[in-house]
Amino acid sequence: MSPRLLVFLLALACLATVGCAHRPGHRHAGIKHPPRKVAMIAKLPSGHRVVHVKGRRYFVHKGVYYAAKGPRGYTVVKKPLH
């Protein structure tokens, strides 16, 4: 095997493993990677609305949804499914 082909195949193998190993939530070799860090805020923006979805309370301001996260404040969440 030529040295150039060997280098190319090794580089391709490295890129393939790095691409799937670093995706949050992706299972690789039975290990689940932790999700990305979430945005936390201490105080909700003024003018927010309270909505209830499936028994849970969310806060909405300009299309951004927040959920209470313990005593530390609020976290930005995906729009809940109704």
Q: Can you give the pLDDT at residue 1?
A: 64
Whole-number average pLDDT of the chain: 76
Tally of domains within the chain: 2
23 and 42 assigned to the same domain: no
43 and 82 assigned to the same domain: yes
27 and 54 assigned to the same domain: no
31 and 42 assigned to the same domain: no
62 and 51 assigned to the same domain: yes
42 and 82 assigned to the same domain: yes
26 and 6 assigned to the same domain: yes
* Residue that wins the pLDDT comparison between 52 and 81: 52
50 and 80 assigned to the same domain: yes
Find the domain containing 28 and state its range: 1-35
Round to whole Å and give the CA distance between 21 and 33.
8
Round to whole Å and give the CA distance between 46 and 8.
56
pTM of the model: 0.53
Q: What is the CA radius of gyration of the chain?
A: 21
pLDDT at 81 > cutoff 90: no
